[in-house]
Amino acid sequence: MLFTTPLILKYFASYTSINVDDGGVILYDRYGKPYSLLWKQIIQPPKLESKVLFSYLTITHSQGLMSLAIKVDDKSELALKLQKIWVTHHQKELCARIIKLERLLKARYLSHGLINMIQSVLIPYRDKWLSWDIRCELSAELAQAIATLKEVTQWSEGDIAAFQEGYVRYKLTEHEVFFDTVEKLPLTTAQRRACVIQDERQLLLAGAGTGKTSVMIAKAQYLAYTRQAYAKHILMLAYGNEAAREMAQRASQYPTFPECMTFHKLGLEIIERVEGVAPNISQLAQNEREKRTFVKETIVLLCQEEQYRLSFVHYTKCSGTDIASIRRYLESAQGTRQLKTITESLGHLKCAAAMNNLLRLETRFNEVLLCIRPILAEYSLYLSNEKAIDFEDMIIKSIRYVEEKKFISPWTHFLVDEFQDISPIRAKLLKALTEQSERHHLFSVGDDWQSIYRFSGADISYTTDFTNFFGQGTVTQLDKTFRYHQALLDVSSRFICANPGQIMKRISAHNTDDIAPLVYIEESEEEQSLCSALSELNAKVQTECSVLILARYHKLLPDKRLLSKLQQQFEFLELRTMTFHGSKGKEADYSILLGLHAGTSGVPAQESSDPLIEALLPKQGNFPNAEERRLFYVALTRAKRQVYLIKPKVNPSEFLLELDY
C-alpha cells in the first residue's frame, strides 16, 4: 500500500510518501531518500487522525515519532488493516511473555521484588497494547493475554494481597503432608504460612513459647524440599553460641541441612575466605580481666605525658596528679569501676566509628574522648602488632570485605534467629550481604517483647521498624503459644502492652486450663520466703516437676549451699537458679521470682550507665523503663503452669503493684 502526501504539502513535509506491506513501512523524504522500519520496531499500530482536509498517519517507533499527511478514502478500513498487520507481528511476543509470567506466578510467591520486576517488565507491553482502541479481531489466546496484561498492570494492593493469599492456600494444601511431618508435631497454620511466604525481606514475630525454632528449621527444610534453594545456599544465624549449637543439632537430624553459626563465626568465615588464613583472635578479646589490666597499664603509660595526665585527672576526679596517685586510684573501688567503663567503651567506640556515629558525640564528650581515644589507639596498635583481631573487628572487617565485593556470598537465603537482639553493626553486615544480589532473601525471627540486650548493643528498632532499614518486606506473626496457659498469657501480655511502643500481637494459648497464673508469697527472711513457695509447690504437685528460681541480679539468688539444701529438702522438685537475663529461652513447670523490691538492686533496675556508654548505645524508647519491662516480661513467661512472686512487705516493685492492680 503506497500513500503520498498531497501536492500542496509536499514542499513543506519531512516525508512525502509511505509504503506499507507485511515486512514493515518505508517512508520517503522530499528527496526520495527511504527510511525503513520493521513492524517489530513500531511500538504501536500506526494512528490515523482526521484533520480538516487530510488525514495524518503517525508511526511511533523506538526512536520517536514520524508523521505525514495522506489522502485516503476509507480511513476506518485503513486503520483496521494497519492494526491487523501490527498485531500479527507483535502477538507472538506478548503471548510468550504472558505464558512465562503465569508460570512464574504459579511457581513463586508474589514477593515485593517479584512485583517490582513484573511491573518493570510489563510496562513496555502495557504501552504497546493498552494505550489504543483495539478494533481488529483477536485470537482467543491473544485476547486472554491482553486481559491478563491489563489485570496485572492495574493490580491494587488489595489485588496483590488476594493473589498472595490464593498462592499461600494452594501451597498449604499441596504440601500438607510435609508440614504435618517436618517436625515432631504438626506445624500450626501460622507456622506453615511463615514457611510458604517467601518475600525478599521477611520478619516473623514469634512470642514466648510460640515455636520459633521449629519454624526456623521447617523454613530451611521447606526451601530445600520445594527446590527454592539448596541447603548449601541457606545460612542460619543465631545470637549466641548456645543457640547456634541447639539450632545446628536440630537441623542436623535431617538428611540435608544448612550451616548454622553466630554472627562472629560468620565474620571469621568471611575474613578467612578473603585472606586465605583463619584470623588470630587476641587473648585480650577472650579474657576481660587481661583486657582491663592492659587498659590500666596503658593509662599509667600515657600519664607519663603531662597533658594527658592532666586530662585524665580532670576526667576521673582523681585526688592526685602524680603517677603513684593515679595507679592507686585505678586500683581503688571507684577506679576499678572507671576501668570497667573505659574498657567497655572501647568496643562501642569502634562500632560507632564503623557506623559513622562518632561525630555527634564530639562536642558533648570532647573531654572524655581526649582520654579514651589514645587508649583505643594503643589497643588498636597492640592488636596490629599481635596480628590479631577482637570481636568487633570480626564484624567490622567482614563488612568492609562484603561492601568492597572481596567476598561474594555463597548463601542466597539468610535465616536469622533472635532478631530483636541484633545490633547496628550486625544489621549493617546482614544488609550488606543481602544487598549483594536481588536473589538474596532475609528471613528474620524475633520478638520485640523480649528485646533485653541493649546494654550489649541490641537495637529494638530494627524489629519495630524492620522495613524502614531492610526495605520492602512482609511482617507476620505466630499466634499460638505452647508454653503456658491462657490466663498467664493474658497477664503477661497486658503488662508488656502497657507500653504502646511494643508491637501489638494477637496470641492465644494452646493450653486453656483455668489456673491462677500468679501466686503471691509474702516476703519474710530470704530463705524462709523461698522455702514457703517451694513447700506450697511440693504439696501441690503430684509428680516430679521443674522449678526456675529467678532474680534480676545474681547476688539475690540462693548460693550453692542453700540451693543444695533446698534440693535435698524438696527432692521431687528440680531446682535451677538464673538471672532474668539468663532465663531467656529457658522454661520450667513453675518459676519463683525473687528480689521484687523497688530501688537499689531492685526491679526495675535503677542503676544508670556511664553517660558516654549510654550515648554509644542505641536510643531507648520514650516509655519509662521500657527495657526493664521487657526483662520482667521474659521472667514472667518462663513458667508453663504458675509464677510464684515473693512480694516484699515494704517498698514492693512498681511492676508488682501493676500486676496486682
Does 229 show up as a binding residue in the annotation?
Answer: no
pLDDT at residue 410, as a whole number: 97
Q: What value does the mean pLDDT take over residues 302-322?
A: 86
CA 533 to centroid of chain Cα atoms: 41
Nearest to 438 by CA among 120, 213, 181: 120
Q: CA-CA distances (angstroms) from residue 199 to 87, 111, 160, 444?
A: 37, 5, 13, 11
Which of 400, 449, 369 is closest to 612 using CA atoms?
Answer: 369
What is the structure's pLDDT at 1?
Answer: 78
Per-residue pLDDT averaged across 639-659, rounded?
Answer: 94
CATH topology of domain 2-72: PH-domain like (2.30.29)
* Residues 130 and 153 sit within 8 Å (Cβ to Cβ): yes
Q: How is residue 571 written as a grid cell? A: 527432692
- Strand-pair partners of 17: 4, 28
Asked if residues 264 and 395 have their Cβ atoms less than 8 Å apart, the reply is yes
Residue 661 has pLDDT above 60, yes or no: no
pLDDT in tens, 96-107: 999 999 999 999
CA–CA separation, 23 vs 20, rounded Å?
A: 8
Other Cβ atoms less than 10 A from the Cβ of 463: the count is: 24
- Is 206 annotated as belonging to a binding site? yes
Coil, strand, or helix at residue 159?
A: helix
Distance of CA 466 to the CA centre of its chain: 6
The answer to which of 110-119, 285-294, 359-368, 509-518 has the lowest mean pLDDT is 359-368
Domain ranges in the chain are 2-72, 84-155, 164-280+394-458, 283-389, 482-659
Buried b (16+ CB within 10 A) or exposed e, 93-118: ebbebbeebeeebeeebbbbbbbeeb
DSSP class of 280: E
Tens-place pLDDT, residues 153-192: 999 999 999 999 999 999 999 999 999 999 999 999 999 9
d(CA 302, CA 374): 8
> What length is written for the chain?
661
482-659 has the same fold as 2-72: no
C-alpha distances (whole Å) from 156 to each of 124, 146, 163 are 19, 18, 11
Given CATH 3.50.50.60, say whether it is the number of domain 164-280+394-458: no
Higher pLDDT, residue 507 or 49: 507
585 known member of a binding site: no
The pLDDT tens digits of the residues spanning 196-255 come to 999 999 999 999 999 999 999 999 999 999 999 999 999 999 988 999 999 999 999 998
Query: Percent of the chain, pLDDT > 90?
Result: 74
- Is 208 among the annotated ligand-binding positions? yes
pLDDT value at 274 more than 80: yes
The residue ranking higher by pLDDT, 81 or 196, is: 196
- Judging by beta carbons within 10 Å of its beta carbon (0-12, 13-18, 19+), is residue 215 exposed, middle or buried? buried
Fold classification of 482-659 is Rossmann fold (3.40.50)
Does residue 94 register a pLDDT over 80?
yes
Consult the annotation and say whether 480 binds a ligand.
Answer: no
SS3 311: helix
Q: In the predicted model, what is the mean pLDDT of residues 610-634? A: 93
Query: In this model, does residue 615 exceed pLDDT 80?
Result: yes
What the block records as the C-alpha cell of 219 is 523454613
State the average pLDDT for the chain. 92
Q: Is 213 annotated as a binding residue?
A: yes
pLDDT band at residue 553 using 50, 70 and 90 as cut-offs: very high
- Tell me the CA distances in angstroms from 347 to 316, 429, 507, 635, one per residue in order: 20, 16, 38, 29
pLDDT given at position 321: 72
- Split at pLDDT 50, 70, 90, the class of 363 is confident
